[in-house]
Amino acid sequence: MNPYRYFALLVLMPFAALRAQQKPNAILQQTKIVMGLTGLKKPVLHYYYNQVSLGREESDRTYPPFFTVAVNAEAWFATEINTTRIKQSNTGVGRGPAEYPSVFYLGVSKHYAARDTAFRSLSDNYFQTIEYDKLNAWAVVLDWAGDPAVRQGKNEVYRDYERLVLERPGANGKERLFIDPKTNFPVKLDYQELSSLWGQQHIEVVYSNWQQTDDFFLPASSFRLEDGEPMIYRTMGKSDLSDSLSLFSRLRQLPVNVQGDGNKELFISEQPKLIKFSDQTYLTKNRFYTEVFTKIGDTVYLLDATLNEARARQDEKLIRQVFPGADHFVVVVTDLAWPHVGGLRYWVSKGATIVSHSASRQFLDRVVHRRWTIRPDELQKHPRQMKFVPINKMTRLAKGALQVFPIDGIGSEGALACNLPKDKLLWASDYIQDTQAPTAYASEVIHAVNREKLKPAKVVAQHIELVEWQQVVKVNP
């Protein structure tokens, strides 16, 4: 593309009038032209980027600042098959880039992780849905340009200027692509994404700071916003065109993946196993989370409600299997990592009392009061007010049969642990994850247990098997 000819077109053509006359496929074809996607000299875009994602879901507070995960990536984008090969290394909490190098292939219909010559589908039962790289403006424009369902919507003002809006059916309502009518560059991708905690989130992928390399244009910056909050920041490094189609040769032989339903549940809830600890206390466990429930008097106490509504329903069925006729429930929420409270709304809909740290109240109110507009859950269908019991010191529930107490280390502020004195069982929530090596979290739990003068014999937590308490003490001297 001749850049002088392109800028002459900007000056001479009445763009607003032209857009009113053109059909969506013609608009998108013009977008491909101005971005340099037509007539590429080589079939693969090769580029580097760094990306920072905010760890809002598992930070130590539910409000900023959040911890981050940083990615350094080298990518190859094959325009003919609209697929990106990403080789990346991550630096996050407690891990360095050399430990987790990974290669992913993300396409419109194929999603795989690769190691050596082995490929693993990313659309298996680990993940509810995988998308192509929507922070890559080239992938988005090519996807839309090939879709006959695209229609023109009503123009909107976005980032100070009126934008042309194209629409098409998405997984959860309309998906919209905002294009600048002056220049034909894409500005924003806009859609709804389901969430196991919030019901749905408004996703905006923004493209800005466009730069030219040879005869093509790329956004030097791309961002993902969730409900208006920037969550991912990507900055483009150097780029060029490549003949490296051989990197995608094996992928062509692999089957198309089964598409998910656009639900941002990190994992599908497989059926948990029921493990008896005593006549009144049981564990429920699948590969993602262990939970505990115990019956004291006529009330069942559930220690944490993880993952999503599906897991909560599975737990309820197991509880009623062991304790038929159970009607009174108390759920102890020990910390606020999003995957750890995904079942909360279901239990509120069943009239359960929620026990948590006093600092949790505001966040849990937000979760309970959120309206699920696309796919109503049980609480949206049968609204209830949350009955909340705040904890900020050792509290003995059920006449002392359940002891709930803050951990209160520097890394566990706002988190709780639970002790069942009759069973001599400690519930350590998410705060013991390793029973073979010392950790700061485990040391804080030990300190809290000693502070409260408790004498557990065994301990269990969300990510560990049932283990002797002295084993944890031994490795955390």
| Residue in 176, 199, 175, 467 with CA at minimum distance from that of residue 338 | 199
Q: Are strands 44-54 and 425-427 parallel, antiparallel or unpaired?
A: unpaired
d(C-alpha 204, C-alpha 176), whole Å: 10
Kindly report, residue by residue over 445-465, the tens digit of the pLDDT. Answer: 999 999 999 999 999 999 999
How would residue 21 be classed by pLDDT, with cut points 50, 70 and 90?
low
Whether the pTM exceeds 0.85: the reply is yes
Strand order in the sheet with 464-468: 395-397, 402-406, 416-420, 425-427, 458-461, 464-468
Domains of the chain by range and CATH?
Answer: 3-264 (2.50.20.10), 273-475 (3.60.15.10)
Kindly report, residue by residue over 100-109, the tens digit of the pLDDT. Answer: 558 888 888 8
d(C-alpha 253, C-alpha 208), whole Å: 36
Say yes or no to pLDDT of 99 above 80.
no
Look at residue 110 in the predicted model and tell me its pLDDT. Answer: 83
Please tell me which residue, 90 or 325, carries the higher pLDDT value.
Answer: 325
Look at residue 16 in the predicted model and tell me its pLDDT. Answer: 47
* Weakest-pLDDT range from 15-19, 79-83, 236-240, 407-411: 15-19
Alpha helices in 146-261 (DSSP H): 249-252
Look at residue 123 in the predicted model and tell me its pLDDT. Answer: 61
Q: Are strands 299-303 and 328-333 parallel, antiparallel or unpaired?
A: parallel
Look at residue 128 in the predicted model and tell me its pLDDT. Answer: 46
Between the alpha carbon of residue 161 and those of residues 156, 221, 324, 422, the distances in Å are 8, 19, 62, 67
Look at residue 116 in the predicted model and tell me its pLDDT. Answer: 64
- Burial of 362 by CB count in 10 Å (0-12 exposed, 13-18 middle, 19+ buried)? exposed
Say yes or no to pLDDT of 267 above 90.
no
Say yes or no to pLDDT of 376 above 60.
yes
How would residue 259 be classed by pLDDT, with cut points 50, 70 and 90?
low
Structure tokens at 213: 């390399």
Alpha helices in 97-254 (DSSP H): 137-145, 249-252
| Residue in 440, 471, 445, 231 with CA at minimum distance from that of residue 338 | 231
Kindly report, residue by residue over 37-53, the tens digit of the pLDDT. Answer: 998 999 999 999 999 99
Structure tokens at 51: 């990306």
The separation between CA 407 and the C-alpha centre of its own chain, rounded to angstroms, equals: 27
Q: Do 272 and 312 touch, CB atoms closer than 8 A?
A: no
Query: Angle at Cα 350 formed by Cα 344 and Cα 352, nearest 5°?
Result: 65
d(C-alpha 309, C-alpha 315), whole Å: 10
Look at residue 255 in the predicted model and tell me its pLDDT. Answer: 83
d(C-alpha 248, C-alpha 329), whole Å: 53
**Type and span of the H or E element at 226:** strand 216-226
Query: Angle at Cα 437 formed by Cα 433 and Cα 439, nearest 5°?
Result: 60
Say yes or no to pLDDT of 119 above 90.
no
* Weakest-pLDDT range from 8-12, 63-67, 142-146, 399-403: 8-12
Q: Do 257 and 77 touch, CB atoms closer than 8 A?
A: no
Look at residue 258 in the predicted model and tell me its pLDDT. Answer: 58
Between the alpha carbon of residue 226 and those of residues 191, 203, 208, the distances in Å are 10, 5, 17
Average pLDDT over residues 412-424: 97
Number of helical H runs and strand E runs in the chain: 11, 28
